[in-house]
Structure 1
Amino acid sequence: MSTLIGLLVSLYHTVFGTLERLTNGWFIGLAARFVFASVLLVYFINSALTKIGTGIFGFLSPSSGAYAQILPGMMEQVSYDTSQIAFFPFGLIVLLGTWSEFILPVLVTLGLFTRAASLGMIVFVVVMSYVDITGHHVDAATIGSLFDGNPGSLIADQRLMWVFVLLVPMLKGPGFVSLDALLGSYYRKRERYY
């Protein structure tokens, strides 16, 4: 019996040790970025598109919808008149929030400045959740609760999963299949010649 158990343990270590060696350094970061891109990239881009103004330079002037989404309480106080909201700091917050919603997901997906972009996205998701709860006053079912046995709540459950997917590239890096790795390789080769 102990020989059989020893054989099973050896087989287990061989199979999963080989799998770990074959995927080390490239798979986890790539898989996390793939999951992020397939689940959230279009979501964030579409959300950002609702926040830009009209015309070719609309990205420089967020729409009133951007203010309503990012600063709902303040917009209510000024009867949804964005001209009554000071650019600094509030207009700047809306502008940077809108740009972040375009730029950060693309950077994570491409694997460019991945650790910083992933951290930025985590902060973005936390702030977005805070605004949804305190500013948009979503109901308790939408907020949900951890360990409640219902994995469908939009904030507690889904956004926790979003953050986890972003923690992987933030902590482990984007992997070898990324622009960070490509640029890093280019600069290492360049330094050898100088």
Structure 2
Amino acid sequence: MDTIRFCTERLTIRQFCEKDADSYFRLLSHPRVHCFADEKLESIEEAKDQILKKKDRNDGSELAVCLKDTDEFIGTLSGLWEKDTFSVCWNFLPDYCGQGYAYESARAYLDFLFNQMNARRIYAYVEDYNTSSQRLCRKLGMRQEGVFLEYISFVKNPDGTPLYENTIQFAILKREWNK
């Protein structure tokens, strides 16, 4: 597949490039949502190394979200392929939250995954406290499929034991998306 790059009204969604490292470091030096805790970056050098590993991936699994006019990095869209099924997640710098960028980019991303990458089913896991991502899933037309109680732990309690979180699964099928 060729280089991945597509645009929305305000955004460019593309493969990572080296100039993304500073903003990528800001995004992951202090993850705001626990599910990104294992991706925490400790240094700008670590961010640069991660960008070098990601920049040539052309399977749609990790993409940068940038402002269309300036190509400034503002967030990520990523996921994991399992045959014809894809799990999605999104992560944005705090300054760009609440402006509709997550919806605009996620909508384009789902369309890309369904219609260019031939995904049959797309799903997302969202922690029960992450109400903004739950709203986004619903706005994208995803349906809630279940709630997993004490499903997964990304962080630890003060005593060092795992902090298990309740996780909601949302999903949408290609035939539902294309209606």
Q: Give the alignment's TM-score, normalised by structure 2.
A: 0.29
Query: TM-score under structure 1 normalisation?
Result: 0.27
**Larger proportion of helix:** 1
Q: More relative contact order in 1 or in 2 (CA 8 Å, sep 6+)?
A: 1
Q: Which has the larger radius of gyration?
A: 1
